[in-house]
Structure 1
Amino acid sequence: MTDISQLRKSYERAELSEDASHADPLQQFAKWLQEAIAGQLPEPNAMTLATVGSDMRPSTRVVLIKGYDERGICWYTNYESRKGQQLAGNPYAALQFHWVELERVVRIEGRVVKTSTEESDAYFATRPLDSRIGAWASPQSQPISGRSVLVANAAKYSAQFMLNPPRPPHWGGYRLVPDRWEFWQGRKSRLHDRLRYSLVNGAWVRDRLAP
C-alpha cells in the first residue's frame, strides 16, 4: 500500500504579490481564469460548490461556471436537487477553483440568488439538445431504481418535445454575489501567497493571510 503521508510537491511556478495583483478581485479572477483557459487546463471552468443544509451538515459538488461579471458568479442546475434545497433554506455558499497545473486556488464566498427567468431561458436555449432533454429526464438527487429510469425518461421527453424542449420550471440559474475572495498561489517551502479581499462598506479591502 502506498504511504500517502509522504506524497508532497514543491510549488515553484509563480508568485502573487500585492503590487502585481488587481485591487478589484473580479479583475484578478478574470486574469487567472483566462490564463487557465489559455493554458488548456482540463476543465478550467470547473468549481466546487459548498452549501449547508438545515441539518448543519456541509456538502460539496463540482459545477461549471457559466458566467461572471460585477453581479457575481453564475451556474445552472436543478432547483429541486440537494444543493437547490439547501440554498432555499440557507442562501449562503462558497465556491472554489483549483487549477492544479498553475498551482493556484481561488475561493469565493457570498449570498446566492436565482438568476432571472430571462437569463435562465437564454442559457437553456444554448444547450445541446441532449442536455436540454436531460434536464427533464433526471430527477436530480432523488433515488431511482436503475439507469433504465433515466433512459425511459429521456425517450419520453424526446418524443414529447422533439427538437424544442422548453426550460423545465425546476431548472435554472444561480448567482453567488461575493463578499469575500481569496487567491492562493503555491510557493516553495509551503510559504504560500494568500491574498484575501473582503467587502467593507461597499469597497474591497485586501490583506495578506499567513499560509
Structure 2
Amino acid sequence: MICLFGNQKGGVGKSTLTVLSGNYLSLAKDWPVILIDMDYQQSISQKYEKAKVLENEEPYEVLPANLDSFPVLGPVLAKNKKDAVLIDLPGKLDDDGLIPVFKIADLVICPFAYDEFTFESTVLFTVVLKKVNPKVDVIFVPNRIKANVKFEIMSEVNEQLSRFGKITPPIPDRIDFQRITTFHTPLSLYPVITPVFEEIFADYLWKK
C-alpha cells in the first residue's frame, strides 16, 4: 500500500498525521512501514534522526526524498507490496514532479480544518489529485479540532468533501500531540486516534 498525506494548505497537521500513522501501523498493528519524507521542511526526517540518538531500535525507517528523485524511487516502492509506504507530500501543487507521486498512490489521507480558506485549498488539492489518479481512495481527516467551538460551515464542508471521499471522525487539538516521536505515541492518545485509524486502514489491513 502506498499512502500519501497531503493538502495544499499548511498547518493542518499533515506531517504529524503521517508520523501517527507510521507509529500506529508498525507498533499497534505490526505492519512493516517505510516513511518517505518529501515535505520541504523535512521535519519528520529531523525528528527521526534526533530520536535515533536517544531511543532504541527504530520501529520503521524514515527516508528523506524530493520530487526530483521520485521517478527512480517510485517504481521501487511500487514493487514492494507487503510494506505500508507512507509519503509526507510537499505542501504545494505548483510542481509537475507531483504527478508521478499522485499516479502511484493507493490511498490519500488529507487532513483539514473547518475554515473557508482551508476548505478551498483542500478541494483544489483533491480536484488536481483526482484528475491525475481518478481511482485513488481519498480520506479526509478533520484535524486539530478545538473542543466546544462551533463551526458554522461544518455541514457544508462535510457535504462537499464527501463527494470526493470518506470523512473520518475528528481528531481533537491536544497538547500531548507535541510529544509524538517516530519511536513513540503517548498512550493517552490511542483512545483518540484509534477510531480514526481503524476507519482509514481497515480495508488495507484486512487485505494484508
Same fold (TM over 0.5): no
Instruction: Say which one has the larger Rg.
Output: 1
Give the structure with the higher percent strand.
1
Give the structure with the higher percent helix.
2
Which band: TM-score by shorter chain? Answer: under 0.3
TM-score, with structure 1 as normaliser:
0.22
TM-score, with structure 2 as normaliser:
0.23
